[in-house]
Amino acid sequence: MCVLLMQGSKDMYLLNIIAPILDYIRQSRILILTKRIENLEDFEKELLELCQHHSMTNVLLMVIQEEEEKEESVIFMLKPYPEYHWLAWNSTPFYPQHWRNFEKKYLLTFTDQTPPRALLFRDPSTREMRLSGFIPRMVILFARHFNAKLKMFEGLEVGRPVHYTVINDMLETEQLDIPMVLDTGPEEKWMNMTYPLDVAQGIFMVPCAQPRNIREVFNILLGWKFFGCIGICTVTLSLMHSLYDHLFFGNYTPFNLLLNERILPGVLGQSFVARKTHLQGLKMVYFLLFLAGLNVSTQFSARVQTLFTHPTYHQQIEDMEQLRQSPLKILLDAIEAQYILPHIEAVKSSLIITQNSTFFQENRQNFNTRYGYYSSSTLWQMYRRKQQYFTHKVFCTSDGLTVFRLLPWGFRLQFNSPYQEPLNYLIHQVHAAGLVQAWHSSTFSDMLRLKLISIRDPNPERAAKVLVVNDFYWTWMIVAIGSGLGLMVFLGELWWHRRGSVFFK
């Protein structure tokens, strides 16, 4: 308790001295003692204005009578709600908890439009404006529970969101009493903030890895490993076969050292013409050719069936380094970017910053896979719930894509706000009752009803489809390249033959 002795308006400076000491101490009690003075009404009015300026709520004013006067001392109790005024004390508690009843006081507020935090919509049946989301419902519950009324700072319009940082900055000029947005930040900001209503993380959500299409499957099947295996087997076995032809049969063709017409079909698993011989070594060559062809054809056939029925997926982005190396760009809101950029210098080249908040929210909410997005883990829970009905998830995240490990979100208030204590009280009750989770579910249902989100599977399982020309892209490329090489060799042989004929003539 703080006791002040005043003799008139000249002692008002005492209240200014103790005000900084009692800031943020809502339970402090102030007793002001004064003797009866001639201009008591002016004194009370000036004292009332000063108490309101310093947001003091627990104040008693005792007017002490002189000993020779027969009248008893008069006690006035400060009543801060709905407006600051003095009330004669009548045996009630000296310092009641005024914050339990705001006496229909109007509280100025304003909200953003970022689901699931806040959702503004027009009711289809009544055409009236409605508010949903766990933050507006928390503020509405606060007003109902403590007998207050809410008034918007200005008219709301669907589709014209205001960023939460802009709304919080309005508190600095005392334009709002309680905002319908949350805030987070460094420790020095928490003196003017409530207990956390939400504890989240800051993450990047990126498109999930998608299965490869038929064209990409052929690219895997007909890759360098496949052709390398065929080339090594063909050259090795052709060299061995040509060696036997030269030593035991007197046949020598230089080109057969690399590509023998008896060997290549066998390596591909096709039938081939074997030479009739009693040489055990040459028979061993044919046996190795059989094993090589059996291995190539069996593995190729098995991989074709596996990849066509269960195609593999592209590499999933799981950390910042993979994000930096990928062609994917992260779309950021310009206002959020100024707070996030100092913490993500490693992937700065992968960012696209937009000044249009509506464009950013629509792309993120509609799951536009052209970009990745920054999101809070609270919003991500709603997106994950939406994707539970999908055959394949559209967006994913991982621990390596976490930007902020801990983000406690609370209500930011004015300096030494009298609403901090009741909000802290109610936040504990809301968490204990599990209302935040219930509000999340209700907001999700509202968004489904308004068709703002859809649980329709964007990638439903399809029946087997007929292969088209584009699916055989790499097959056509091999045919074209092979035909081109064959034509070049054919023309080369014609030229060599004619050159040789002219030389001998």
What pLDDT is attached to residue 67?
Answer: 61
Indicate if the pLDDT at residue 85 is higher than 50: yes
What pLDDT is attached to residue 189?
Answer: 74
What pLDDT is attached to residue 330?
Answer: 94
Indicate if the pLDDT at residue 479 is higher than 70: yes
pLDDT band at 300 (very low <50, low <70, confident <90, very high): confident
Indicate if the pLDDT at residue 36 is higher than 80: no
Return d(Cα 455, Cα 136) in angstroms, integer.
25
Least confident of 34-43, 351-360, 464-473: 464-473
pLDDT one-digit tens code per residue, 269-289: 888 777 777 788 888 888 888
Burial (CB < 10 A; 0-12, 13-18, 19+), residue 186, is: exposed
What pLDDT is attached to residue 281?
Answer: 83
Give Cα separations from 166 to 142, 203, 338, 450 (angstroms): 23, 22, 13, 27
Q: In terms of Cα–Cα distance, which of 257, 372, 386, 247 is closest to 318?
A: 372
| Mean pLDDT score, 356-373 | 90
Amino acid at 32: I
What pLDDT is attached to residue 122?
Answer: 85
| Dihedral over alpha carbons 340, 346, 352, 354 (to 10 degrees) | 20
| Mean pLDDT score, 389-413 | 91
Exposure b/e, 70-92, CB count within 10 A at least 16 = b = eeeeebbbbbbbeebebeeeeee
Task: Supply the pTM of this predicted model.
Answer: 0.74
Indicate if the pLDDT at residue 474 is higher than 80: no
H or E stretch at 192: none
What pLDDT is attached to residue 465?
Answer: 65
Measured over the CA atoms of residue 382, residue 388, residue 389 and residue 391, the dihedral's sign is: positive
Q: What is the DSSP string of 422-458?
A: HHHHHHHHHHHHTHHHHHHHHHHHHHHHTTSS--S-S
What pLDDT is attached to residue 329?
Answer: 94
Residue 392, helix vs strand vs coil? coil
List the alpha helices (DSSP H) in 199-277: 214-221, 224-248, 264-267
What pLDDT is attached to residue 423?
Answer: 94
Which strand ranges, in their side-by-side order, compose the sheet holding 59-64? Answer: 2-6, 30-35, 59-64, 74-79, 85-88
pLDDT one-digit tens code per residue, 334-347: 888 888 988 888 89
Residue 69, helix vs strand vs coil? coil
What pLDDT is attached to residue 308?
Answer: 75
List the alpha helices (DSSP H) in 278-419: 280-309, 320-325, 334-340, 357-365, 377-386
Burial (CB < 10 A; 0-12, 13-18, 19+), residue 463, is: exposed
Return d(Cα 486, Cα 314) in angstroms, integer.
35
What pLDDT is attached to residue 187?
Answer: 66
The 8-class DSSP code of residue 94 comes to S
Number of other CB atoms surrounding residue 241 within 10 Å: 20
pLDDT one-digit tens code per residue, 169-223: 898 888 999 999 999 876 667 888 999 999 999 999 999 988 887 777 777 777 7
Tokens matching residue 330: 């992260």
What pLDDT is attached to residue 69?
Answer: 58
What pLDDT is attached to residue 243?
Answer: 83
H or E stretch at 92: none
Q: Indicate the pairing of strand 30-35 with strand 59-64.
A: parallel
Give Cα separations from 158 to 122, 128, 340 (angstroms): 8, 12, 27
Taking a C-beta distance cutoff of 8 angstroms, is the pair 179, 187 a contact?
Answer: no
Indicate if the pLDDT at residue 503 is higher than 60: no
Return d(Cα 443, Cα 134) in angstroms, integer.
8
Return d(Cα 18, Cα 1) in angstroms, integer.
12
Amino acid at 489: V
| Mean pLDDT score, 407-413 | 92
pLDDT one-digit tens code per residue, 426-468: 999 999 999 999 999 999 998 888 888 888 887 776 666 666 7
Indicate if the pLDDT at residue 139 is higher than 80: yes
Using the structure block, give the residue that is written with the tokens 């590509």: 259
| Mean pLDDT score, 133-161 | 90
What pLDDT is attached to residue 34?
Answer: 81
Q: How far apart are the first and last CA of the chain?
A: 128
Indicate if the pLDDT at residue 136 is higher than 90: yes
| Mean pLDDT score, 31-54 | 83
pLDDT band at 383 (very low <50, low <70, confident <90, very high): very high
Q: Which segment, 161-175, 260-274, 279-293, 371-385, is predicted with the most confidence on average?
A: 371-385
Tokens matching residue 131: 């508010």
Residue 406, helix vs strand vs coil? strand
Return d(Cα 382, Cα 361) in angstroms, integer.
14
Return d(Cα 361, Cα 368) in angstroms, integer.
10
The 8-class DSSP code of residue 29 comes to -
Phi/psi of residue 71, each to 5°?
A: -70, 145
Taking a C-beta distance cutoff of 8 angstroms, is the pair 417, 55 a contact?
Answer: yes
What pLDDT is attached to residue 179?
Answer: 93
Indicate if the pLDDT at residue 504 is higher than 50: no
